[in-house]
């Protein structure tokens, strides 16, 4: 059971790191949003501009909260 917890923590950290890398990359925000939207469309999920902005905002907040939790 302990190994499973480590694995879940590793996968969660990798996912957060990947999202943080995408959002913090030195690329225009509109380009990043378009790349995210295209990846979602390929998986059958369609978002309009307002929904995409809300998604990016939610992800940014989660990353900030996770970073704040690690610092504490």
1: pLDDT confidence band, cut at 50, 70 and 90? low
- The backbone torsions φ and ψ at residue 65, rounded to the nearest 5 degrees and listed phi first, read -65, -40
User: What pLDDT is attached to residue 56?
Assistant: 75
Structure tokens at 65: 């909260």
User: What pLDDT is attached to residue 71?
Assistant: 56
- Tens digits of per-residue pLDDT, 44-70? 888 787 887 787 778 777 777 777 766
56 contacts 23 by C-beta, under 8 angstroms = yes
User: In the predicted model, is pLDDT for residue 43 greater than 80?
Assistant: yes
- Tens digits of per-residue pLDDT, 9-21? 888 888 887 777 7
Helix ranges (DSSP H) in the chain: 2-24, 29-42, 49-71
Contacts of 46 (CB under 8 A, 6+ apart): 40
């Amino acid at each position: 059971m302990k190994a499973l917890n480590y694995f879940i923590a590793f996968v969660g950290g990798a996912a957060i790191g990947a999202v943080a890398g995408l959002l913090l990359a030195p690329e225009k925000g509109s380009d990043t949003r378009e790349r995210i939207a295209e990846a979602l469309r390929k998986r059958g999920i369609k978002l309009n501009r307002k929904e995409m902005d809300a998604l990016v905002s939610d992800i940014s907040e989660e990353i900030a909260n996770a970073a704040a939790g690690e610092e504490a």
